[in-house]
Copies of this chain bind each other. A is one copy, B any other.
Amino acid sequence: MKAAILKKPKEIIIKDIPEPEYGDNEILINIKEVGLCGSDVHYYNTGRIGDFIVEKPIILGHESSGIIAEVGKNVKGLKVGDRVTIEPGVPCYSCNYCKKGDYNLCPNIRFMATPPYDGAFVEYVAYDPNFVYKLPSNVSFTSGALIEPLSVGYSASKRAKIGPGDKVLILGSGPIAISILEITKTFGASRIYITDINDFRLEIAKKHGAYKTINIRKQDIFKELEDIKIDSVIEASGVESSIINSIKLVKPEGTVVWVGMGKDDIEIPYSKLTSKDLTVEGIFRYRNTYPSIISLLEEKKVNIEDIATHYFKLDEIDKAFNVANNPNADKMKIIIRI
């Protein structure tokens, strides 16, 4: 089968490798669509994210959907031909985090496309069926793959404690930010303000229901939000100035959620954070989100498919990374079709 293998930074090759073996408790999935995530681009460009370092060739990609090709003999509830989405982390099941259901913090989790574990830019993947979910017939493979960023949105919105009638500010308008926006609406936010430096992206945010878009290159965000009581700010850009502003722009007693991957160390307005009685939530992945999001997609409470602005085949993956790295390209989500 064909696989896209990152040999070293900026060098990705398409190679034939053997199909994976699948155990009695596993299924084999024929991957159909995989989203290109910012972390994939980061590994492609630099070979590392924080403490995770690409030390041997790796298959990237962790936002994926596909069709079940084979089913291990002990597996129940799934069958060959089922259209499915894959939750990309499989935890150990037995540590204290797992037993409490907080498996995103399992120290032994095997997370796709995070060294040393391979991901989904490949034709077939053997997987634990407990983390594979059937897609309703009206949910496309693209939407199925994007349940992964929507899960980040779900986790962020929940930690932001958003309730009906709240005013929410999302900083950044990339694919994660739009995923957050879509989910934030389902938590009842009545007005969602969103920022970026790119009008193409802000236009998409507007179509997805943002109450007001702010291009921070052209507009003064503090002036635009003057006198607005922002209940929660979700920072989804990872940009230092934006992380700092998140604390300044939220109302006293509000909640600030930091989703964006940023620099190791950042100087924050500490005394504002305490004198405003704020809660700050750092987000690491998500847990127990897939069934809820599938239900929201099925009932059309969430619409995400149209954020896919570019589709490439597996053997065009180089092009996909080039578009991703081109700051002048009008792009939102890039999908690899396999």
Is A190 touching B301 in the complex (CB atoms < 8 A)? yes
Residues of B within 8 A of A280 (CB): 273, 279-282
Please indicate which of the listed interface residues A97, A188, A262 has the most CB atoms of chain B within 10 Å of its own CB.
A188
Given A273-B282, A281-B279 in contact, is the A166-B292 Cβ separation under 8 Å? Answer: yes
Is A164 touching B265 in the complex (CB atoms < 8 A)? no
For residue A218, CB closer than 8 A to chain B, the reply is no
Instruction: For residue A26, give the distance in angstroms from its CB to the closest CB of chain B.
Output: 13
- Interface size of A by CB at 8 A reads 72
Per DSSP, chain A at the interface is mixed
For residue A93, CB closer than 8 A to chain B, the reply is yes
Q: Choose among B159, B164, B272 the residue that contacts A301 (Cβ–Cβ < 8 A).
A: B164
Is B105 touching A277 in the complex (CB atoms < 8 A)? yes
Is B277 touching A270 in the complex (CB atoms < 8 A)? no
Q: Which residue of B has the minimal Cβ distance to A93? A: B93
For residue A14, CB closer than 8 A to chain B, the reply is no
For residue A73, CB closer than 8 A to chain B, the reply is no
CA of A234 to CA of B130, assembled, Å? 31
Is B275 touching A271 in the complex (CB atoms < 8 A)? no
Chain A 268-305 interface mask (CB, 8 Å, partner B; 1/0): 11111111111111111101100111111011010000
Given A165-B293, A186-B188, A191-B299 in contact, is the A270-B262 Cβ separation under 8 Å? Answer: yes
Sample (22) of A-B pairs whose CB atoms are under 8 Å apart: A99-B287, A99-B288, A107-B252, A163-B187, A163-B292, A165-B186, A165-B291, A165-B293, A187-B188, A190-B299, A211-B299, A243-B270, A252-B284, A258-B270, A264-B269, A264-B271, A274-B284, A277-B284, A278-B281, A278-B282, A279-B279, A280-B281
